[in-house]
Amino acid sequence: MTQLPYPVYPNSWPFVMESRVVESVSPEEVDGYWADGWRHFGSDFFRSSLMAEEVGIKRQISLRLDLSEFKVSKSQRRTLRKNEDLTFEFAPARPGDLEEELFELHKDRFERNVPHSLNEFLGDRPDGKPCACEQLSVRSKGRLVAVSFLALGKSACSSVYAVFDPEESRRRLGILTMLLEIEHARKRGLEHYYSGYATVEESCYDYKKQFDSLSYFDWSGEWRSIDELVL
């Protein structure tokens, strides 16, 4: 029998696993959900302190950045410089054929848990249900190469999902869209940027833990500096 590296999570790690359908929320209410470790794809709200992978069970954490304290790192500045030839714009989220075509290219990167459509992440009316959501479109000489979606609250925002053309992977477009969303949120005067889930243990989501002014939700109601996270 193969021994899994994380078959049992530590006794001190809380067990949280909840989901609910919320058709509509006010900006203040969605801020509250995010502050309690919830995420949502469309009207499906969920939060979990554990993540199952083929290698075992990992401890899952929700992440957010303090926008007033955030500073761009050297590697992130290089990413911005590398993509100065691209154009971008924010608009209400109304994905169409071009976005779906880009999604089809993007999902070929996955071998497991392959998503079927953008609707899985955005719902049937992403521009206003359950809350306001904007779309960031990034283009190279007019061609759409990346798109991401940012849900908006009153004092915070949450990055929902991003896709990019795999042929442009050298540009680090996933990092670029996050940096553009962060700057957009700062210009709007928001306080926090929720960047999604990662795990305490090593995972494919580790890139999310490389941002400045980052905190994680400890599942007991407190947000703590990522520097306090103990393996």
| β-strand partners of 64 | 194, 215
Please, are residues 100 and 119 in contact by the beta-carbon 8 Å criterion?
no
Q: What is the pLDDT of residue 222?
A: 96
Take residue 108 and report the two structure tokens written for it.
């070929």
Average pLDDT, the chain: 92
- Of 5-9, 145-149, 192-196, which gets the smallest average pLDDT? 5-9
Per-residue pLDDT band at 64 (split at 50, 70, 90): very high
pTM: 0.92
What's the DSSP call for residue 209? G
In sequence order, the 6+-apart residues with CB closer than 8 A to the CB of 137 are 88, 89, 91, 144, 146, 147
Local confidence band at 27 (pLDDT 50, 70, 90 cut-offs): very high
d(CA 82, CA 170): 9
Element (H, E) at 44: strand 44-48
Interacting residues of 156 by C-beta distance below 8 A, sequence separation 6+:
31, 34, 35, 64, 190, 191, 192, 193, 194
What are the residue boundaries of the structural domains of the chain, listed by start?
17-228
For the segment 32-49, what is each residue's pLDDT rounded down to a tens digit? 999 999 999 999 999 999
Q: Is 3.40.630.30 the CATH number for 17-228?
A: yes
The tens digit of pLDDT for each residue in 114-142 reads 677 888 899 988 888 999 999 999 999 99
Q: Tokens 């940027």 correspond to what residue?
A: 193
SS3 content of the chain, % helix, strand, coil (to 5): 25, 35, 40
pLDDT, position 5? 47
pLDDT in tens, 74-93: 999 999 999 999 999 999 99
Q: How far apart are CA 126 and CA 139, in angstroms?
A: 21
Q: How confident is the model at residue 3 (pLDDT cuts 50, 70, 90)?
A: very low
Confidence of residue 204 (pLDDT cuts 50, 70, 90): confident
Residue 113 has pLDDT above 60, yes or no: yes
Condensed to tens digits (0 to 9), the pLDDT of residues 209-228 reads: 999 999 999 999 999 999 99
